[in-house]
Each structure stands twice: as C-alpha cells, then as structure tokens.
Amino acid sequence: MSANDERAVGRRTALKTIAAAAAAGTVGTVATGSAAAQTDLSDWLGDVGNFDGVADRTGQDEVTVEVGVQGNGGAFGFGPAAVRVDPGTTVIWEWTGEGTPHNVVAEGGSFESELISEAGATFEQTFESEGVTRYACTPHKPMGMKGAVIVGDVEVTTASGGGETATPAPTASGSSGGDGSSGDGGSGGDFAEPDYEGWFDNVGNFDGTVDRTGQDEVTIQVGADGNNGAFAFEPAAVRVDPGTTVIWEWTGKGGQHNVVSEGDPAFESPLQGTEGNTYALEFDGSGVAKYACAPHEAAGMKGAVVVGDPAAGGGGLVDLETVLWGLVGTIVAAPFAASAAVARSRRKAGRADRDGGQPAD
C-alpha cells in the first residue's frame, strides 16, 4: 500500500473515484506544454464569488481546500477557490458541513467524489505533473462553486486580471471575500451601485451589491448569520438579469422568517422556519425590489434584488411568476404549480430564442 493509500484509509472519506488514476490517489493535470505556456481561467473563475487570486501553497506536501465555505450566495464555495501547488502535492478537500451536499468533480472526469454532507469528511488527490485542473461541485456549479488546481510554474490568466504565477493567498484559509460582498467578484464593470436611500443603514451584513448576472437561477439564504443572530438575507443585495428566478432558501435558523416587498412589485411569502423551505420569484424589466422579513425588519433583516441596470431605464420592474416551494425540489402548494410550469417554459423559450433553436423538453 502506498503512502497516499494509507492516508486515504486513515481519513473519514467514505468517498469514491471514477478513474484508475484517482483510485490510486494520483491524478495528472491538463498539459500546458511548458512553464511559459499560459492557461486562461478567466471564464472558469469569472462567476466564482469567493475567488480573490491564486493562493500560493507551493512548498507544502499536503494542501487543504475547504468544501462549503461562504461564497456565491451561501456556503457554496471552495476555499481557496484556486490554488498553486508543486508537482507531487496531495490536495485534500475537507467538508465544512455547510450548504451541503457537495461533491468534487474534475472537468474531464479524472476524479469524482461522492455527494457528502458530513463535516470533517475528506477526499484527496495527488497531482504529479505540471498543468491545470478545473473542478466543481455538480449541484452548485451554476452558482459559482468551482475551483482550480495549478501545478508547477504554469502561468494562468484569471478573472482577477493579468497573468498570475504565484499570487499569495489573502488569508490562511484562502476564503476571504467569500462573505458575499462586492469585493468578491461583485458588480464591477460599468454598473452603478443603486441609491438604496438608507434601506441598508442598519443591515450589518450588507457590503455592496453582489453580481449574479448570467445565471438563470439565483439563491438567497433566509436566516443567515448577521444582525446579531440568524437575522440576515445572504447576500443582502444581489444583481440579476431580467428573466432570472430568485430563490429564497430557509436555513432553519432564527425562528420564523418571511420575504415581504417594500413597494412595487408587491410580493409576500408565508412565515416559514423549516430548513430547506424555499420561495421563488421571477423578475423582468429593470429596477430595484426592496424587501424584508416582517418580524425582524427592525433588527436589520432586509434585502434588495437589482434587476438589469436601473440607471439605464427599462420600463420599470415587474414580477412574472410567483412560485411557492416546500422542501427543496418539491412543490407543496398546488395553486402555484401552473405558475412554476409557465416560468420554466418561458425560460426555455427565451434561451431558445437567444440560441436560434427550439426549447428543450
């Protein structure tokens, strides 16, 4: 038994891999030709909210990456998201137990863990050769739960700008910026931060508008840590494209919460307290929808959804369909079932129009 196998047996992994190299505890990386070659990771990491540069972990035999750190609207990040290691280094992914279940799946299929929820569970791979390996959590990949392992002196171009060879990590855990703030891949570009007119003055977890454009569905946690308890929406302010479905998901913490609009368009969810309950709303037009949890508004439990670019106009903000869900993935309110089908149909038709094809079944 190799040293890598002995480490795997000694850890609480309960995981499996799908390739012979992975089963042996080792994996190659995407070949780049030479140290002078450059790999472009801008698109891969462009929507990863907690990415803040490549963390330099060279000189270490083992490197740990946390699975389920804060980022991308909840505990949906790898920390650090991108890491540079030496050839022969073993990367150990360790689950935090938050935002689960998560898995670790390499693009191209060179390795894959099981879906895991247990805090402290681990999965590991040894990277023998120079190159770049991209990976993601399958269920949360659309939200930005992606990562990269850069082995050796390969130069990469990242979403943080420019070519990077060994950018030091901002913190020991490599997860800084994963609090959903505008500094973790936020609005940027030509987008002008809206004037919220004092709406967030008493909101402790508000730190700018988080950019989630380019996604068909965006999740906001209800009952996240903030405002002296589990009295926060996370992220507090989020920007989305017209036609995006915003899903509020309850953490089960802080008691009963709801989602109630402040002004137009008018919407209101029931008071709920069960972990996994969700409420969804599809927005269209352009504007800012402010909302709060009615019982905890005074404590600072408030949020906002910015649709499109309000500064550029767009005819006002409307909500297309309201969909009430129970536990994740199960519609429990029959009157809303038709709306859910219509919303999904419209999204498919819209994507088909953009692509010049027919909507998928």
Q: Tens of pLDDT along 301-329?
A: 999 999 888 776 555 555 444 444 443 33
The tens digit of pLDDT for each residue in 11-35 reads: 333 333 333 333 334 554 544 333 3
Q: Residue 57 pLDDT more than 60? A: yes
Mean per-residue pLDDT, 193-221: 89
The confidence score (pLDDT) of residue 78 equals 95
Residue 162: the pLDDT is 39
Q: Quick one: pLDDT at residue 237?
A: 93
CA distance 78 to 325: 28
Which pLDDT score, from 0 to 100, does residue 245 have? Answer: 87
118 part of a folded domain? yes
* Residue predicted with more confidence, 247 or 331: 247
Supply the mean pLDDT for the chain: 74
Residues 150 and 275 in one domain: no
- More confidently predicted of 168 and 81: 81
The confidence band for 91, taking pLDDT boundaries of 50, 70 and 90, is: very high
Tally of domains in the chain: 2
pTM of the predicted model, to two decimals? 0.43
pLDDT at residue 334 tops 80: no
Asked, for residue 244, whether it belongs to a domain, the answer is yes
Q: Are residues 250 and 148 in the same domain?
A: no
User: Which residue's structure tokens are 């409420």?
Assistant: 279
**Percent residues over pLDDT 70 in the chain:** 67
Q: Which domain holds residue 318?
A: 210-355
Evaluated on CA atoms 327, 330, 333, 338, the torsion sign reads positive
In a domain, 173, yes or no: no
Confidence bin at 159 (pLDDT 50/70/90): low
pLDDT at 324: 43
Note whether 12 and 159 are same-domain residues. yes
Q: Which of 164, 180, 201 is the last residue of a domain?
A: 164
pLDDT of residue 116: 93
What pLDDT score does 167 carry?
38
Q: What angle do CA 273, 278, 282 make, to 5 degrees?
A: 140
Q: Give me the CATH number covering residue 311.
A: 2.60.40.420
Listed range (67-76, 137-146, 217-226, 263-272) with the worst mean pLDDT: 263-272
What percentage of the chain reaches a pLDDT higher than 90? 39
Does 244 lie in the same domain as 106?
no
Residue 122: predicted pLDDT? 94
Q: Phi-psi bin for 202: left (phi > 0), alpha (psi -120 to 50), beta?
A: alpha
Q: Would residue 229 count as lying in a domain?
A: yes
158 and 215 fall within a common domain:
no
The first and second tokens of residue 239, run together, are 């920007």
Q: Is residue 200 part of a domain?
A: no
| Residue 290: pLDDT band with limits 50, 70, 90 | very high
Selection from 35-39, 122-126, 275-279 with the highest mean pLDDT = 122-126
User: How many Å separate Cα 80 from the centre of its chain?
Assistant: 13
Amino acid at position 202, single letter: N
Q: Bigger pLDDT: 252 or 30?
A: 252
Domain boundary among 164, 187, 221: 164
